[in-house]
Amino acid sequence: MLELRLFFVLALMLLIPGWFALALTGIWKRWPGLQSWLLAIGIGISFYPVFFYASRFFLPWLTFGPYKMSALLLGMLVVAMWLLRKDGAWLSRLDLFEWIAVIVFAVTIFTRFWIIRDQPFPAWSDSVHHSILTQLTAVRGQLPYSLEPYFPIPLDQYHLGIYSLSATLQWIAQAPAHTALLWTAQMLNALCGIGVYLVLDRKVGRVGAIAGAVAASLLLSQPALYVNWGRFTQMSSQVILLVGWLLVWEALLSWRSAEGFRRRELIGYTGLAAMSTASIFLLHFRVAAFYLPLIALICLWLLWSSRKDKASIARVVGGIVGVGVMSLLLVGPVLVDALQVYTGSRAIQTSVRAASSVQVGTVNFFEFTFSSFPYLIGGPSWFLWLSTGALLVGVILRKKLVIACLFWVLSLFGLGYAYLLQIPVLNLTNLGAILIMLYLPIGLVIGSLAQEIVAVFRSDRCVAYGVSIFFLGAGMAAAPARATTVEAYRYFVTPADVAAMDWIKANTPPDALFAVNTYFWLSWAPHGTDAGYWIPYFTQRRTTASVMIFSSLADSEHRAEVVTASQQIELLESDPGSLAALAETGVDYIYIGQRGDFASPGLQADILREQEAVEEVYTNEGVSLFRLTPP
């Protein structure tokens, strides 16, 4: 029953704040049918990061928990239902095309939750600190300022927005932190196409909206693959990226034709656009950089299209200032500190990388070969060529949205290759983070092409239904792959490891330090390879590998400790005689998980058993735990 409770709570969490805002502002009437429901979800997602960051900043003494959040959501629900009490029939009215879209989203949701049915613990390295931060938020009742008491890592330059959602789910559904995190992330992943659908439905056509949603949600393997990587913060921000852009677009249009809007609607549009924009930043700082070219584009286009009417230009400028100022106010509690830490960290990271003498990493952070593009973008080569062809056709036909996508993609690649300028402050992200989010512009382009096919036949209704059903069928055909593509080596925790964690909590001192199997994905950024990496979350003990974000957020002392200890672990794999040096780093125990090391032989229990300097204190189903006993 936990699964049903999680799903039900998640649905209410995402819908209630959005419908509260739409009912309060009255703008829902301008978003008919399915549009209003999807917009409510987008606004609902945006609400939590802004609310939690603002409350922490303005009311630092205020904490939340299951009762306060339940009461808040219940109050919102009562107000929304009262304001909409006469409009129930209108809200439930969907046409056949919209029901096709509902099926698309339902299939997508099914695929995202089916894939985790046998994977109760989130995958890969980032999931450890995501789970810890969810737990910290739930225990403290507000977003944390650091990873203490787990690790001495400040969080001024880390985006915490998703934990406002996962902690709320943990409270209300009474689920473990890692479960609440995984279900929150997968629900957001399932909603990856709502922005594509809304933009296309509002600006292109409903058939295009269905096709675009199918392309972004099911035809491409991204973002479904994110579940294998624990790429949850980037996903959470991207799911509302196009929703925020569309709200800004509609807000500026409402300002330009202000006489057609009531003051309440105008203020509502401005506030919701600002909240969504701020939330994109608070969910993932770097995704905000992906978002800014779209905002710049729509502002310039509206100013250009209004150039013959000075009054319209003035109103558009007023709207830009209004949305911009409100957005900055909402991100103000974190923006200044984040920028200060970011600019300072550029120089620090450069010196750390330059000084590193151990080149054990096999992946360059910035360079990606063309052969990696299909995997990272999420489609076979033929589909990427099809998308490129659709882009060129749209540009030749002068379709404004396709031209906007071209501008956006070029801007994104500019960000990805900015490292070539060798100006550290411009190294906002790498090309990999950009390639894995191209499902958004691809969805827009494919949807625009589909609508153009319908237009060729003069919008014949039979053709429109045929194209929609074709894309629905294509999505259904692709669904099994989305629901079953599991990269098994990325899943570290097994039931045997969970049992070992219980033993550790009962039989080891709280300040014990555990050596764990380690992999250097970069020479300054090690991470664990098996369940040993999860020891801090399960047992509140420390490990030699820290957590993934230590390399960019921790101070130089902690970074040096982690890198040095992890190098000793790498050495121990081939030289058992290095146990004495490992003990000098403060290590008390060595943990070998059931999954071991995916990239190398890793630590070998059989070899360690032969060493006099260690004693095996626990073994079960491939899990071994050794205590160091140096002379």
Confidence of residue 42 (pLDDT cuts 50, 70, 90): very high
Return the percentage of the chain with pLDDT > 90, whole number. 69
Confidence of residue 574 (pLDDT cuts 50, 70, 90): confident
Tokens read off for 106: 């339902």
Tokens read off for 207: 């058939």
What average pLDDT does the segment 543-550 reach? 91
Q: For residues 154 and 146, give the distance between their C-alpha atoms in angstroms, rounded to a whole number.
A: 4
User: H-type helices in 59-95, by residue range?
Assistant: 66-83, 88-91
Say if residue 40's pLDDT is above 90: yes
User: H-type helices in 306-427, by residue range?
Assistant: 310-355, 373-377, 381-396, 400-416
- Of the candidates 27, 24, 401, the one whose C-alpha atom is nearest the C-alpha of residue 245 is 401
Q: Which residues contact 628 (CB under 8 A, 6 or more apart)?
A: 579, 582, 583, 587, 588, 589, 590, 613, 614
Lowest mean pLDDT among 287-291, 383-387, 401-405: 383-387
Question: Which pLDDT score, from 0 to 100, does residue 343 have?
Answer: 65
Question: Which pLDDT score, from 0 to 100, does residue 130 have?
Answer: 97
The domains of the chain are located at 2-85+97-484, 495-628
Q: For residues 178 and 126, give the distance between their C-alpha atoms in angstroms, rounded to a whole number.
A: 12
Helix (H, G, I), strand (E, B) or coil at 116: coil
Torsion angle (degrees, nearest 10) of CA 218, 223, 229, 233? -140
Tokens read off for 360: 């054990």
Say if residue 341's pLDDT is above 90: no
Q: For residues 431 and 420, give the distance between their C-alpha atoms in angstroms, rounded to a whole number.
A: 12
Task: Convert the pLDDT of each residue in 50-86 to its tens digit.
Answer: 999 999 999 999 999 999 999 999 999 999 999 988 8
Residue listed under structure tokens 């500019």: 414
Confidence of residue 359 (pLDDT cuts 50, 70, 90): very low
Question: Which pLDDT score, from 0 to 100, does residue 260 have?
Answer: 61
Say if residue 334's pLDDT is above 90: no
Phi, psi torsion values for 614, nearest 5 degrees: -135, 155
What average pLDDT does the segment 215-231 reach? 95
Say if residue 365's pLDDT is above 80: no
- Of the candidates 75, 108, 93, the one whose C-alpha atom is nearest the C-alpha of residue 28 is 93
The DSSP string of 43-66 is HHHHHHHHHHHHHHHH-TT----H
Question: Which pLDDT score, from 0 to 100, does residue 457 have?
Answer: 85
Tokens read off for 618: 């626990």
Say if residue 231's pLDDT is above 50: yes
Question: Which pLDDT score, from 0 to 100, does residue 392 have?
Answer: 94
Lowest mean pLDDT among 243-247, 521-525, 547-551: 521-525
Confidence of residue 362 (pLDDT cuts 50, 70, 90): very low
Question: Which pLDDT score, from 0 to 100, does residue 361 have?
Answer: 35
- Characterize the bridge pairing of strands 614-620 and 525-528: unpaired
How far, in Å, are 51, 248, 320, 321, 332 from residue 324 at the CA level? Answer: 18, 10, 6, 5, 12
CB atoms within 10 A of CB 5: 14
Say if residue 358's pLDDT is above 60: no
Question: Which pLDDT score, from 0 to 100, does residue 336 have?
Answer: 77
Residue listed under structure tokens 């992906």: 290
Task: Convert the pLDDT of each residue in 102-111 to its tens digit.
Answer: 999 999 999 9
Q: Which residues contact 65 (CB under 8 A, 6 or more apart)?
A: 141, 171
- Of the candidates 448, 155, 387, 179, the one whose C-alpha atom is nearest the C-alpha of residue 285 is 155
Task: Convert the pLDDT of each residue in 129-166 to its tens digit.
Answer: 999 999 999 999 999 999 999 999 999 889 999 999 99
What average pLDDT does the segment 3-28 reach? 94
Question: Which pLDDT score, from 0 to 100, does residue 346 have?
Answer: 56
What average pLDDT does the segment 621-628 reach? 93
Task: Convert the pLDDT of each residue in 394-438 to its tens digit.
Answer: 999 999 999 999 999 999 999 988 888 877 777 778 899 999 999
Contact (Cβ atoms closer than 8 angstroms) between residue 308 and residue 290: no
What average pLDDT does the segment 466-473 reach? 95
Lowest mean pLDDT among 219-233, 359-373, 454-468: 359-373
Q: For residues 404 and 510, give the distance between their C-alpha atoms in angstroms, rounded to a whole number.
A: 55
Lowest mean pLDDT among 77-81, 240-244, 586-590, 626-630: 626-630
Q: For residues 451 and 208, give the distance between their C-alpha atoms in angstroms, rounded to a whole number.
A: 5
Question: Which pLDDT score, from 0 to 100, does residue 1 have?
Answer: 78
CA atoms within 13 A on the CB side of 101: 30
264: left (phi over 0), alpha (psi -120 to 50) or beta: alpha
Chain-centre distance for alpha carbon 239: 8
Say if residue 548's pLDDT is above 80: yes
Tokens read off for 533: 């990496």
Question: Which pLDDT score, from 0 to 100, does residue 406 have?
Answer: 96
Confidence of residue 344 (pLDDT cuts 50, 70, 90): low
Average model confidence (pLDDT) across the chain: 90
Question: Which pLDDT score, from 0 to 100, does residue 355 have?
Answer: 44
